[in-house]
Structure 1
């Protein structure tokens, strides 16, 4: 089989439009070669190009409608914000301002919306909904715990993109619309020191179970003022610590040894340490923690 002719310089490693190809005298037959694929109608790209959120958006940008903005799950991914995998692996989302007609492109979900000041920012030169607008737009697709995880990432103290007040104002604009109940319930559960979506989900589960006040990633020191650890979650009145551990805590031997030493150090301070993983994000865990807190002196009747 004859190998396809080389593409002109600049066409072999990126997405390009049919019109751009014709302008460079690339034939229709060449555009149908097996070494090219069609991510969207009227767009070609090398067939061996990795499929990532960035390459997908770059290809779609060529077909972006007038005033189009990457939004919803696509915007969350471009911002580096956590969303459920089912949304992350789904189609791209594009919003256009009314009265522009929402795009109808295979592999794309189009939205016709009303933008406000500050709703659109630039990422890699692309127009993308802001983090707060994205949180609002996704409210109807998320559970309360998922909405909190997304919000926690937006307000995180090390990389703050907005405040809780900013998100509360966004939630108020959903009153009477899909997502209003979820976003309103998420606001009082947000915390700027949460370090991961799983940690956020665990905290939400414990708070919703009616357990007492939690510290989130607050450093602990020994009697001499030396740093000991920064527990993920802690019930300070009862000296009960909860550590969430991802898979790498189990599979990485060096990490496992650090975790063991950390647990011993916390226990030496008089803390009760509970180590949990992804399989423990279930209601039975809240009941277990409740029993441990009761043994430590907590009474649910006192809250």
Structure 2
């Protein structure tokens, strides 16, 4: 029997592994009824996403037909950004009349009767991203939901559309997600860019255009700006690097910043430390640039 992947206790018995071995030091028991090689516990975990994937892969042998990973677990498995300080949490759901597994360490959900729309991600059953996003709205804050939605609707991924999120959100009681859906934008390329945009708008500043491409007088492409105010020739670039580890890339970026400025743009660089205190320093930098360019807000 191949023991390189997690397997259920029953599968181990059927594969010829004795009861004593299944309870011995060779195998770890990450969940009740699941076995995996003991050294995998220490070797595999290097980051929060990897830790979550490991947990889900270990639990997968326990899942029965119709059971799947849901809510924030599903979003993280799709690669969506999670809240700051988030720790891996395993949510498993099933539609009525079935029941989710009773397993310590697992958050169980018994959903209304409905046609399942699961996908296979990393070889395990995962809730549809649209439904997972709405499910996560019960436990995530609004800004975290917007950041995840921006990821899902990104033109580079096209996992879902804004319309699909809005339709699914409309099924919820109340209107909590109305404002969240109104803040979703295609084109935001990182959760920090999303949070910066939200902070700018909440501070009463105009909303920047995302990913605006600018060209010089000969039609030569100059740059694609994270955020831009063409009317005021103000560009906003988020640079999350805390250190310039890649000197070659940093040199390219510096040349690009010079090119943007040479085209008459006031380039506002937002660095990691400008995002503290709810991005107040970043907002003030943008406000100053806009007022310098003639904005009277």
For normalisation by structure 2, the TM-score amounts to 0.89
Q: CA deviation at 1:75?
A: 0.8
2:54 is aligned with 1:62: no
Residue 249 of structure 1 contacts residue 255 of structure 1 at CA under 8 Å; is this kept in 2?
no
Q: CA deviation at 1:90?
A: 2.4
CA distance 1:37–1:202, change in 2 (3 Å): same
Residue deviations 1:186-243, cap 9 Å, x none? 2222111111111111111112222124110111100110011111111111111111
Q: Provide the C-alpha distance between the structure 1 equivalents of 2:289 and 2:74, rounded to a whole number of angstroms.
A: 41
Specify the alignment match of 2:7 in structure 1: 16
Q: Provide the C-alpha distance between the structure 2 equivalents of 1:242 and 1:118, rounded to a whole number of angstroms.
A: 42
Q: CA deviation at 1:68?
A: 0.9
2:144 is aligned with 1:146: yes
Specify the alignment match of 1:235 in structure 2: 229
CA distance 1:166–1:118, change in 2 (3 Å): farther
Specify the alignment match of 1:293 in structure 2: 290
2:44 is aligned with 1:46: no
For 1:230, what is the secondary structure of its paired residue?
Answer: strand
Residue deviations 1:156-186, cap 9 Å, x none? 122212221111112212232xxx42x2222
Which of 148, 165, 172 is equivalent to 1:167? 165
Residue 152 of structure 2 contacts residue 158 of structure 2 at CA under 8 Å; is this kept in 1?
yes
Q: Provide the C-alpha distance between the structure 1 equivalents of 2:105 and 2:152, rounded to a whole number of angstroms.
A: 27
Instruction: Name structure 2 gaps, 5 residues minimum.
Output: none
Specify the alignment match of 1:77 in structure 2: 76
Q: Provide the C-alpha distance between the structure 2 equivalents of 1:34 and 1:215, rounded to a whole number of angstroms.
A: 58
CA distance 1:154–1:245, change in 2 (3 Å): same
Residue 249 of structure 1 contacts residue 256 of structure 1 at CA under 8 Å; is this kept in 2?
no
Residue 71 of structure 2 contacts residue 91 of structure 2 at CA under 8 Å; is this kept in 1?
yes
Q: Provide the C-alpha distance between the structure 1 equivalents of 2:37 and 2:9, rounded to a whole number of angstroms.
A: 13
Residue 95 of structure 2 contacts residue 116 of structure 2 at CA under 8 Å; is this kept in 1?
no
Residue 268 of structure 2 contacts residue 285 of structure 2 at CA under 8 Å; is this kept in 1?
no
For 1:84, what is the secondary structure of its paired residue?
Answer: coil
Query: 1:22-33 counterparts in 2 under 5 A?
Result: 22-33=13-24
Specify the alignment match of 2:268 in structure 1: 274
Q: Provide the C-alpha distance between the structure 1 equivalents of 2:204 and 2:220, rounded to a whole number of angstroms.
A: 33
Q: Provide the C-alpha distance between the structure 2 equivalents of 1:248 and 1:86, rounded to a whole number of angstroms.
A: 18
Query: 1:185-224 counterparts in 2 under 5 A?
Result: 185-224=179-218
Specify the alignment match of 2:120 in structure 1: 122
Q: CA deviation at 1:34?
A: 2.4
Residue deviations 1:51-103, cap 9 Å, x none? 4333322221111144211101221122222222544x322110111233343
CA distance 1:165–1:24, change in 2 (3 Å): closer
- The runs of 4+ residues in structure 1 deviating greater than 3 Å are 51-55, 115-119
Residue 95 of structure 2 contacts residue 114 of structure 2 at CA under 8 Å; is this kept in 1?
no
Residue deviations 1:248-269, cap 9 Å, x none? 7622211221121111111101
Q: Provide the C-alpha distance between the structure 1 equivalents of 2:30 and 2:251, rounded to a whole number of angstroms.
A: 46
Of 191-200 and 18-27, more deviation after overlay is shown by 18-27
For normalisation by structure 1, the TM-score amounts to 0.87
CA RMSD of aligned residues (A): 2.0
Residue 72 of structure 2 contacts residue 133 of structure 2 at CA under 8 Å; is this kept in 1?
no
Instruction: Name structure 1 gaps, 5 residues minimum.
Output: 1-8
Specify the alignment match of 1:3 in structure 2: none
Q: Provide the C-alpha distance between the structure 2 equivalents of 1:218 and 1:118, rounded to a whole number of angstroms.
A: 39
